[in-house]
Amino acid sequence: MVDKPAGWTSHDVVAKSRGLLGTRKVGHSGTLDPDATGVLVLGVGKATRLLRYLTALGKTYEAEIVLGVETTTLDAAGEVTATHDMAGVAIEDARRVVAEQLTGPILQVPPMVSALKVDGRRLHELAREGIEVERDARPVTIHRFEVEATDEAGVLRAVVDCSSGTYVRSLAADLGRALGGGAHLRALRRTAVGGFTLADAVALEALGPDHLLPVARAVGHLPTLRVGGDLAIAVGHGKVLDRADLGAEGEGPWAVVDDDGTLRAVYQAHKGETAKPEMVIPTA
């Protein structure tokens, strides 16, 4: 897990990590904008197959919101498109709007400068060509959106806990509009992806094989089933098993580990009362 520096794309980080770790098999679980910093979870070797279980994890961000200035990208990287006199906006006004309109389940229109695809084209590619297309609003959930004043006039400090797929710069722009003007985001920093936090993150230039976490951490948020003996062998062979034998409740997915805590497979509910592997993790 890397603390991504500003000015690097997530792809840049993956490319650099391949050299630092001595393997081509590196991926990441969720893109960060080039100007953003913070937690970027990497999958290395066999762990790359588990990255799909991380994409739906909630995220936590810290950022600054600049009131009174709108930009083409909704953040500080874009060109200014409009300015507003918002000197009269008090922190209490911002907190009221956040509580009433921008917390809980909301609908959010993705920004044009994003990696989402419309008719096979990424939105940011269209935006660079000066093309703007209709985007459907998507449901996201804002679990926490705290704002506080800073020493800089017109700048708010924000902390956001949100569901996967949330654009914090869209939140900033929506807040500005709801306050009667406009706003953009700056200094975005992702401090957590699920249970992965900055406390575990390594500076990119310091990354090395010694910093790799156990593979089981990638699915640590899933219910864990512990197996041993013949059952562990059957799991390792990818057999369909009775849920009762696994001790599995619900529909899964479940992380199946052996007596040593080594991840052997990820299982999912199957027909009747059985479970089948979505993937088996080689132990060698």
Q: What is the CATH number of domain 2-57+195-217?
A: 3.30.2350.10
Which one is catalytic: 33, 75, 174, 258? 33
Q: What is the per-residue pLDDT across 137-177, written as a single tens digit (0 to 9) for each?
A: 999 999 999 999 999 999 999 999 999 999 999 999 999 99
Amino acid at 229: G
Q: What is the per-residue pLDDT across 68-83, written as a single tens digit (0 to 9) for each?
A: 999 999 999 999 999 9
Kindly indicate whether the domain formed by 59-193 is annotated with CATH number 3.30.2350.10.
yes
* Residue 66 token pair: 């600049």
The pTM assigned to this predicted structure is: 0.92
* Second CATH level (architecture) for the domain 222-280: Roll (2.30)
Domain boundaries, the chain: 2-57+195-217, 59-193, 222-280
> For 177, phi and psi rounded to 5 degrees?
-65, -40
What whole-number distance in Å separates Cα of residue 269 and Cα of residue 103?
34
From 228, 218, 221, select the one nearest 257 (Cα to Cα).
Answer: 228
The H or E element that residue 16 is part of is helix 10-21
pLDDT of residue 180: 97
3 state SS for 193-230? ECCEEHHHCEEHHHCCHHHCCCHHHHHCCCCEEECCHH
Directed axis angle between helix 91-101 and helix 168-178, to 10°? 120
What whole-number distance in Å separates Cα of residue 218 and Cα of residue 271?
26
Active site residue 33: yes
> For 190, phi and psi rounded to 5 degrees?
-90, 120
pLDDT of residue 178: 98
* Per-residue tens of pLDDT for the chain, all 284 residues: 999 999 999 999 999 999 999 999 999 998 898 899 999 999 999 999 999 999 999 999 999 999 999 999 999 999 999 999 999 999 999 999 999 999 999 999 888 676 677 777 776 676 676 777 777 899 999 999 999 999 999 999 999 999 999 999 999 999 999 999 999 999 999 999 999 999 989 999 999 999 999 999 999 999 999 999 999 999 999 999 999 999 999 999 999 999 999 999 999 999 999 999 999 998 76
Which position has the token pair 């920004």? 111
pLDDT of residue 133: 72
Is it true that 59-193 and 222-280 share their CATH fold? no
